[in-house]
Amino acid sequence: GESVGLHLPTLSVQEGDNSIINCAYSNSASDYFIWYKQESGKGPQFIIDIRSNMDKRQGQRVTVLLNKTVKHLSLQIAATQPGDSAVYFCAENSGGSNYKLTFGKGTLLTVNP
């Protein structure tokens, strides 16, 4: 079946650097994408989302880029801080579903002080 995947399982950056976390999706019918942050022992926390009619969306220190041509999603975190250390998941609404999300396996981001 189709699924969402991540290119890198781990990413280590220095405090203050910018971080880029990538995600590949294969279901071309998906039209809503979300990035979640999950800290150890906690539930996923919404970061930012984007709909398929957009290429880019910015939040506070975060930017999501969507490339529908190559089915690629990325999360950019500016000026990464130690508090950003967590597992980051991308998710898609499975084939355009109104209720079902398909999650990637996650990327562990470690920020070194």
Provide CB contacts within 8 A for 86, sequence distance 6+: 37, 38, 39, 40, 108, 109
Q: Per rule CB under 8 A, is residue 83 in the interface with another protein?
A: no
- In angstroms, the CA 11 to CA 13 distance is 7
Residue 96 CB, nearest approach to another protein (Å): 8
Looking at the Cβ atoms of 30 and 80, the one nearer to another protein is: 30
Q: Per rule CB under 8 A, is residue 40 in the interface with another protein?
A: no
Q: Per rule CB under 8 A, is residue 45 in the interface with another protein?
A: yes
Q: How big is the CA angle at 14 (ends 82 and 109), to the nearest 5 degrees?
A: 60
One-letter amino acid at 80 equals T
Q: Per rule CB under 8 A, is residue 44 in the interface with another protein?
A: yes
One residue of 102, 107, 109, 111 binding another protein per CB under 8 A: 102
